[in-house]
Structure formats: structure tokens, C-alpha cells
Structure 1
């Protein structure tokens, strides 16, 4: 009996896998583990999943091969990518700057093609059709680095608006060219082809923009309670549009893209339906597609001779150069600054979803070879990294010029303030509660929310009772200071996720928690609790290490990094710092750059605070240990940091809690993370956050594109 079981297991796990349940399990496991394992080295999700596909595919460990199930899911993923691309385009921004968008769209479309076609045809030696397809692939771009400009508060900037508009135009034009190339690959392009394509394309557009939006509007209004039905209806529209496009002689991805455009106005970006569409796509369908792309890639081709490497290098150079020239011409026509030019270039340089879609259609129709496919994967990686670097550098300089959007700095009304304290180590809770009482607005009628998150396990019920007892002890302590508290207990599989969920529930403006404890090896791999809380919340967050009474201090020293004044939560944390100093009757010494000093002075005057303030200049912010020269043994030290990827973030702030905790062992410390704008609807498989190592390289690389005239 046992031998049969062993034989059955050996057969089931024999490569390539044939059991559909096991195949699905393996793919889901990869989707789960890939972001976790690659997070420490900041490999972008889109590359990580493709690499996973390379490893498990026929050219790697040969665990999976392209069968009907994998093909079906990857096809759905490809259509899903194009649908979301059409759905997320901001039509209002496009309309505002449509004339300039048309100009930029024309140049960012035609220049890469004019450069790319001769290179592919004459230098790389490809035929006409492959050369046109590859050249059109150069023209596409994906707004991978858009989340960066959003965080810097310059998403309404004209340079950003025309780049978004150009994206709509160039991607649409490339998809039309793709339809022509596909048609040409199946037969001759004659008069009948053009007439058939023109008539069928017109009928297709009439159905998609004349009929579908009316049906969708009626459906959403009549069946308002059927939330599941809404999602199924949207999926039906996507696949029906893909089928119609195919019947019209176009590629199915064009149908999916047009479906996104036709439903664009009917599905708000912040709606529950949009959330469902993105969640399911990002969780299953899109990762399936990316893994299937990796399964096609044959890395051994790169080792068979220099031709594959030459193709990959040429594709990357031509792509980057073409987009840079387009951005430069746009700069001269509209008399933009070099920083605006770099912003346009950074946003339009990244190749991801649309590029992958175009190249996969070409590969499946035998128009391009393996060299181009493998070269495109390398192109995606390199252009995503360059786009991230250049956009971040340009965004910082535009912020320094004072071009942030209005109302970027958050103003929390004192009468509406909500403060939340996650319950952790009971020994540290009393000083944390005292601190919260000191900085809390007296005008706010809301109590302090003390939250306890209990792990969802066998001991959950017992732990809930223990948590309630601990909360009651805190309530008794708070009542001694006549501080009103609200006690909240919740059960969650993940404690940081539970804290993040409760912060949204109570609409917390501020979260106050204890100092991060030592972490285990597992936590270092999958992410530390404090880091997870930071990533999953947008509120101002204070981390406190208060081993001495607050009244033992003689001053407060606040270390403020460059560009902190451009963060959303700048004014809020500054008010809280002044309030703390006033309650303790302590002077404040701000260590910062002159620009930050001016912003602090403005708010200081606006608040009419009586706190004694002085400023000291420090400019070498890449050397955090140099701040020790401003320290005094009886000072309360406040380090202003930033969430990874925000405006004032720099790699010297990595692991700041651990470093200052070890260096200032005998002093009270406060680590402060300003509030940020909520990052909604960012496709995690298209975003890239460069690692500290890559960011250091970017200082040198970025200068190529960031030299002032």
C-alpha cells in the first residue's frame, strides 16, 4: 500500500507536471512567494514573476509546460492588463492638455519608429514586418513611474498631463499598427483588406462606444444591489470586446483596451467595483500571464553567441535614446525646463505591459524570434529602472522649484483629530499614553483609540479576553490623567494588517507606537512588523523609546531631512512637536537645510507659538551619524524620517530605528514618519522601487539626464 502511494507521488511530481490541481497550486505558490523573497533586493514584481517563469518553464527546471490551462489563464491575464490600462486612463487630464498631448504623442510615437526601423532592418538584418513590429514596440510606454510623481505632489503638473495624454495616443496608434502587421503576416495587404478592415473597425467602434456604454449604464443603475453581477458584467464586456476585435480582423488585446476606454467613465477609480477588478487581476490573472511569458524565454540563447546579446543591447539603447529625443523636442517646442524634459522622459521611458503585449502577439504569430523576445525582457528591466531613477530625480528638482500641486500639504483640523495607539508591550504603554495625552488636541471631542490585535489561532478566544483585561488596565491608567479612551479589540491573521485596518476604521490622523523590537530571521525575510505597519498605513506615525520621564529633558532636538517640507504630513507633525515643547516648557533646536528652515519658520509664525526655537544647518544627510555633533545628553531626540519612496526619502534613512537605537543607547528617542497621500490603484506588478544599491548608482547614472544647462 505504502509503495503504491510513493509511486503515485513520484508520478504526480514527475517533470513536467501534468496534474492540473498541482499545476495551479505551484503557480499560486510562486505568485505568493515571489514578491516576498525578492522584496529585500527590490526586484520589481513584473520582472520577479517573469524570472520565476524562466526557472520553472521548459527551458529551466521543466516543471511546467504550455498546456491548455496555462494558455487560458495567461490569455486572460494579457487581456486584463490591456483592459486595466484603458480603464485607468484619466480622460479629464487628457482633455485639459489635449493639444500639447497630441504634439508629444506624435513625437514619442514617430521618433522611436524612425530610429528603430532602420536599426532593425539595416543593422540587425530583420525583414520589413519584424522591423516595423519591433520599431512600434519602441513607441509604446507604460506609466510605471507615475506613482513617484503622485507621491511628490506634482501629478497635476503640465509635463505629467501631456505625458499621460501622449500615452493614450501612442499606445492606440501602436495597437492599430499591430493589427496591420498581423493582417499582413497572414496574407497580402490589398484593396479588399483595407475596405474590410475599415468597415469592420468602424462597426467595432460603434458597438463599443455607441452601444456598450448605454447597456452598462442601464445595468449598473437597475442592478445596484448585485455587486457580484457588476463584476461579471464587466468581465463579459472585456471578453466580448476581445472576440469582436478578433472578428474585425484586429488583435483581441485591442478589444480589451477599447473595452477599458468605453467603461472608463462608468467605473470610478475609487469605487468598490474598480477595487474588485484590480484585486482579482493583480492576484491571479496578471501574474499567470507574466509567469507564462517567462516560460517562453530561453536564457541559453544568450549563451549561444554574441548575436542575442547584441540584439538585447541594441533594443535597449534605441528604445531609451528614442524616448529621450522625443522628450527633448517637446521641451524645445513648449520651452520647458530641463527638469520638465527629464520628467517627461522618465515617465515615458518605461516599457512594461503594452510592450509585452505587442511583442507576445508578434512572437505567437512567428513574426519575431527568440532573440527579440529575450531582448525585450532585458529592455523592460533596464527601462523600468532608468524611468524610476530619472523620474525621482526630476520630481525632486521640480518640487524644489516650488511646483507642487495646491493642497498637497495636509491640514488636520484640531476639532476632527483622531489618534490611535496599538497595544503591544504593556511595560511601555504608560509613557506612550502620557505622550499621546500631551500632543492630543484639546479641541478634539474624540477619545484616544487604544487597539489590541489578537492573532487568529486556536488561542484566539482566550487571547481576546487577555487583551480586554490589558485594555482595561490602560483605561484605568488613562482615567487618572482624565484622558478619555476608546478600547478596541480585533482578530486578524496578521497583526500589522489588523493595525492598518483599524487605523482606517477609526480614520486615524496619527498612530503612536513603541520602538521596534529585535526581529527574527523569518521577519527579516518576509518583512518586519514595523515596516509592514508603515507600508500599510498613510497616517503620521510616531515610534517612541521613552525609558526616562519626559520631564527630565532640558531641550528637544529635531533632525529634519531635506524636502521634509514637501511631505503631505509636514504641517501636522510640526504642530505636534511645538505642542509637545509647549507642554514640557522646552526649547526646540531644528537641525535642517536653509530651505526647510524657511518652511518651518513660516508655520511657526502662523501658529504664533511661544516656544523658543533655534536653527542649526546640516547638509551631509547621507551621513546620519554626523548628526551626533548637535546632541546633548539631556535632550529629547526627534528623528524625522519618511516612508520608502516618499518625497524626502533617501537611502541613509534605511533602518534608521536600529541605527539610532544602538548609537543613542541612553536617551529618549522619537522616530517620526509624516502622513502621505493614499496610494490607491497602483498595479504592484508594474511599479518599481529601486534598492539602496541601485539608488546609489542612480546618483551617477542620473546625472547623464539631469545636467542643467
Structure 2
């Protein structure tokens, strides 16, 4: 009896070893290719060529590669729609539509001409072959995502053009397939248009509403992740029912869920991580496994067909990008980005060649013969490699140019956002709020604080505080942001926060609105009031009745002369970042002079923001805003400290108005930065400033309990 009963047979069929080899390729291919400065995508495809049936026959392209490959393809299209800057896309939708028509028409014209004259194919074969050149797959999109350029104008144009050209190419495929099945008639056209319109209406109208309702009911990250995947494949499956490819459905689902999944959020990070770590590499390895290099060296026209197909497809896509660049006067790097994203052939091309290969014409020949099949695989390999190289180089140049501009520009003050945590029910919303207002380019700058009172400290309170800090750090880490946690003892919570602000150079504080326990409690609470008095830094007091990502609109009430405050630019930037991340429309209500300043500032720094401006006739009575704020809106009140330029006596009535008119709305009260020292400084040598108010509160609570008892 042998100690190890092991016999090696190729191809390997054991699922354990198949998965191990694939993970090994995914792990080591980027490590090896980084030394050669070759994009990771190429390594995955070449690895697939080597281990496939036409290479060393180590693995067979079985059902697992088909399953994970389809998931990976859906993932690429879904992420492309999810990460698109919708505000910028709407602004550039005409450019995207024009690019889509050009990148479809130019390869179609060149393809039909080359197939008729150089390859001597029939007209129908030439049209189907040309439609394969016209379509493309966003193979290089993970490179764009890795460099953080997914919101670039040229990227949005290329992605929007992809939807146009892939749709037109698949319509041609459906028509030619229907022609040989004998179903092309007037009823065919009516049914096709009706089915496409119905499916698009269902996805666009119902999916966002279902998603918003689900995210409000369930905040668990695992449940949200599984729900999003289910929606992606539901959209793809519905579109396949009408005869089109599911990749368009996945892309459409990404677009409609774009507003519900902020770019900087734990859910977004989970989606990108799983796709880039597993599904997309699986798809790329599967593409490489269908490449048969031997077919080009055994005679026949396979090599000639492959060269013609590759040259025509590449030239057609480059000309389309060049025409678009000249029409809209874009930069050379923008042209390279558009060409790199639109040159790779994979998804729709594979579908077209496989369907065309299965169609038998009247003379007994296949519509697309074996030479075209092998030539298509060669074209896929070449265009994917070229697309990856071009996109990688262009992305690197753009990133380096941006870094240069940042170095020669003005030095920006450091942004550190402090989040005091004491209530487990508000931790998730406070951290998510801080994530959407912070600078998205920074992967740090968040500080979670738990303050324990000297007089009421215990081991239980200590353990609770540690759990709150760990929960905050986990939420931030899930969004790929590093959070620094601080636990400290102090005289009271307000003084602990103020001392932490000084020690860690905090620029902003995000704190939850306290829960009013009895009639003597103030609206904001003693901690928030003492904090406003004790620091000149920006303070945001939040009450979130629903998850941040499900808000549909942000309504901002701005007092007169707010533009003269030191923190005016900062709070405007934070609100605009929030609007961009959530895809919300931001509606400003303010004095006409303040509106003019807001308009200039937003057009200068946040051009893509969907904003509205309305004159607020009377700041004294916020009842005027009740008709503008719905249950799924966020009301932002820009307040001011006593003695500041924009302070008004009406602010004294603000707590009563908020509790009376907006008790069922999500609120964010902002106290902007102000010049000079705080009005009531606190230090360890003189801590009395924040204890006097607490003594008055204790006296009021004693009278309240005495009257209640009697």
C-alpha cells in the first residue's frame, strides 16, 4: 500500500486543484508582470492561453469557467455603470452618443469593405463580421478603476459610447439570426421594440425603488451585497429573455443603482474587491483558454483572416477615437483613454462569432467558417493586450499630470474629521456621513473618539467604548479608509472632545443629535452646546432617520451674510461632495447676495453638481421650507455662533422650529469655522466654564423630578 496514492492526469479535473491553480495564477501573475511593467490583465489572458486545451492542456475550459466567466463579464459592465459619474455623464451624454455612433459606424464601414474585397465573403457574412468589429468590451476598465479615474470625462464618454455601440451590434446579430430562422417580418420588429422598451422601463423604474426600500430596511453589509448581485443577474436575465445579451442588463442595473451606492462606502468597496479579486480574473483566464495558436501555422486562410480582422478592428476604433477627439477638442490622453477602452473585443464579439458559426446556410457552409472563428480568437487576444497597454500608459500619464498640478497648486489645509461615538444606534450613520463629506482622494483623516467621564467610569463603560470604536473602525476599513481610534478620560464629554480637537489638529466634528429624555433637556443637548462654545472648528450635528445612501435630495437653508464667515467655502465643499457621492440634487435657499456667491463657487469647483437656487424670503420662520422637505430628504441648516457675522437673534428660536416642523426629517445642523479663539476656552487649569451649565441643568432636572413626584 502506497503512502500517497497520487497519479497526475491532464487535464486536471479535480475541483480542488482547479480552483487552487486558478487562484495561484490570480496571485502570482500580477507579481511577475509588475516587474516587467505589463498590465495585469494581459497576464491573466496569457496564463489562460498557456494552461488551456490549446496550450499545455493543464485545465479544461469546463462549466466553472463558463459560469465564473459570465459572472466576471457581468461584473465588468456592472461596475462600469456603477462607478460612472452620472452628473458628468448627463452633461456629456451628447458626446457619448456621438462617440457611440462613430465607434459603431467607422468599424462597420471598414469591416464590410474589407470582408467583401479582401476576404471575398458574402454581404450577410460581411455585415455580421463588421458588427463584431463595431462592438467592444470594457476589458481595460479595471485599470481605470485602479488608478481612480472612473469619473474622468473621457472615461464617461467611452462608457456611454459602449452602451450605444454594443446595443446596435447586438441588434444586428438578432436580425441576422432571425433572418436565417425565417422570422423577420413586421411582427418581429414590433415585438422586438416592445420587449426592449418594456424591459428598460422595468429596470429603470422599479429597480431603484426596490433597492432604496431594501437598503432602508436592512443595513447588514452581507445582505446588501447579495441583494445587489441578485439585481445584477435579474437585470441580465430579463434582457436575455428579449433576445439581447445580459451584459447590457448588468450595465443598466449599474446605472440605476449608481445613486444608492456611494463611491466611498463599504458596499462599494466590497463589490469592487470581490469582482477584481475573483470574478473578473476568472473571466480573463477563460478568454485566454479559447485561443488556438496552432491554427495559424497549419496552412489555410486562418492567418490571413486573423490579420485582416485585427488590423481593421484596431484601425476602426482608433479612427473613431481620433474623430471624437478632433470634434470636441479633447487632449491626446483623452483620445488614448477612449481608444484603449473601446479597442478590446470579447463579449459581444464572442457571442456573434459563436452564433454565426452555428448558422448553416443553404449551400451547406457555415455563415462564419472555422477561419473566422480562429481569427476572432486571435483578434480578441491582440486587441485585449493592446487595449491594456494603451489604457495603462494613458492612465499613468494622466495621474502623473494631476500630481504635478497638485504640487504646484495652493497648499490645502489638512482635513481630519472627528466622530465622537457613544450611541451604538448612530455609529453607522455618523461614519457613513463622514465618509461622504471627506476628500475622496484621501484614505485617512477620520478619528473616532470615545470619552469616559472621570466620575462615572467603570470596566463596563470601558468595554462598551472599546466596542464602539472597533465598530467605527470596521465600517471605515470596509470603505478602504483608515480610521484612528482614541479612548480617553476627561471631566465631561465636551471637554474630552475639545482636548482631542487640539491634540489631533481636528478640522471638523461630526456628532449625533442627542435624544431628548425630559422637558428640561435642550434640543441640541448640553454636550453639543458646550462644544459650539468651546471650539471655533466646524461642527456638524446630525440626525439620520434613514441610511445616508437612500436620501433623494439635500435642502440647504443658508442665513444672510453666511458668505463672510471663515468656514463658508469648507461647508459648501462638504455639502457638494455629499451631493456628488449620493447623486442627489442640492437645493440652496438663501439671500440673493449669498446665492450669487454660492453659484460662482459651485460653478468653479463643482461643475457637475446638480444644484438649484431659490431665494429665502424670511429666515425668521423655517415653516416656509416644510413644503420643500420630504421624508427622504436631508435638511441642512447652516447656523452660526454668537458674535459671528451671520449670527441673528432668530437662531435662538431655531431648536423650537426644528423640533416642531421637522421632527420626522433627517437633519444636519452646521456651525461653520469662525475666526479667532472660541468664546469660552477650556483647559485643565480652568475647567469650570463647562461645569456651570451642567450645574444649572442638574438644578432644573431636580425641580422636574420634584414636581413629577408630587
What is the TM-score when the length of structure 2 is the normalising length? 0.52
Residue 220 of structure 1 and its aligned partner are, at CA, apart by 0.8
Residue 502 of structure 1 and its aligned partner are, at CA, apart by 12
Secondary structure of 1:350's match? Answer: helix
Q: Is the 8 A contact 1:101 1:166 kept in 2?
A: yes
Q: Which of 184, 194, 207 pairs up with 1:189?
A: 184
- 281-290 or 173-182, larger mean C-alpha shift: 173-182
Aligned residue in 1 for 2:6: 9
Aligned residue in 2 for 1:362: 352
- Counterpart CA distance in 2 for 1:408 and 1:23 is 51
Aligned residue in 1 for 2:222: 228
Residue 227 of structure 1 and its aligned partner are, at CA, apart by 1.3
Uncovered stretches (5+) of structure 1, i.e. residues with no partner:
419-444, 448-489, 491-498, 508-709
- Counterpart CA distance in 2 for 1:204 and 1:503 is 38
- Counterpart CA distance in 1 for 2:259 and 2:163 is 15
Q: 1:374 to 1:351 in 2, by over 3 A?
A: farther
Secondary structure of 1:55's match? Answer: helix
Q: 1:404 to 1:111 in 2, by over 3 A?
A: farther
Aligned residue in 2 for 1:619: none
Secondary structure of 2:6's match? Answer: helix
Q: Note the 1:307-318 alignment, pairs <5 A.
A: 307-318=301-312
- Counterpart CA distance in 1 for 2:244 and 2:66 is 20
Residue 329 of structure 1 and its aligned partner are, at CA, apart by 3.5
Residue 279 of structure 1 and its aligned partner are, at CA, apart by 1.0
Q: Note the 1:231-310 alignment, pairs <5 A.
A: 231-305=225-299, 307-310=301-304
- Counterpart CA distance in 2 for 1:503 and 1:34 is 27
Secondary structure of 1:355's match? Answer: coil
- 118-127 or 74-83, larger mean C-alpha shift: 118-127
The alignment status of 1:373 with 2:363, answered yes or no, reads no
Uncovered stretches (5+) of structure 2, i.e. residues with no partner:
358-367, 419-444, 448-469, 471-476, 486-710
Q: 1:446 to 1:168 in 2, by over 3 A?
A: closer
- Counterpart CA distance in 1 for 2:142 and 2:170 is 25
What is the TM-score when the length of structure 1 is the normalising length? 0.52
The structure with the largest alpha-carbon Rg is 2
Residue 132 of structure 1 and its aligned partner are, at CA, apart by 3.3
Aligned residue in 1 for 2:32: 37
Q: 1:197 to 1:332 in 2, by over 3 A?
A: same
The alignment status of 1:385 with 2:389, answered yes or no, reads yes
Aligned residue in 2 for 1:530: none
Secondary structure of 2:262's match? Answer: coil
Residue 172 of structure 1 and its aligned partner are, at CA, apart by 4.0
Residue 504 of structure 1 and its aligned partner are, at CA, apart by 3.6
- Counterpart CA distance in 1 for 2:376 and 2:480 is 49
Residue 215 of structure 1 and its aligned partner are, at CA, apart by 0.7
Residue 171 of structure 1 and its aligned partner are, at CA, apart by 3.9
Aligned residue in 2 for 1:682: none
Q: Note the 1:157-556 alignment, pairs <5 A.
A: 162-163=157-158, 165-181=160-176, 183-184=178-179, 188-224=183-219, 226-305=220-299, 307-334=301-328, 336=329, 340=330, 342-350=332-340, 355-367=345-357, 368=368, 369-389=373-393, 409=409, 411-413=411-413, 504-506=482-484
Q: Is the 8 A contact 1:146 1:347 kept in 2?
A: no
Residue 148 of structure 1 and its aligned partner are, at CA, apart by 9.0
Q: 1:67 to 1:48 in 2, by over 3 A?
A: same
Q: Which of 106, 111, 114 pairs up with 1:116?
A: 111
Q: Is the 8 A contact 1:104 1:166 kept in 2?
A: yes
- Counterpart CA distance in 2 for 1:63 and 1:283 is 22
Secondary structure of 2:345's match? Answer: helix
Partner deviation per Cα, 1:66-109 (whole Å, 9 max, x = no partner)? 32233222222222222222222222111112333333332232
- Counterpart CA distance in 2 for 1:502 and 1:330 is 36
Q: 1:305 to 1:384 in 2, by over 3 A?
A: farther
Residue 415 of structure 1 and its aligned partner are, at CA, apart by 9.1
Secondary structure of 1:9's match? Answer: coil
- 31-40 or 127-136, larger mean C-alpha shift: 127-136
Aligned residue in 1 for 2:424: none
Q: 1:298 to 1:161 in 2, by over 3 A?
A: closer
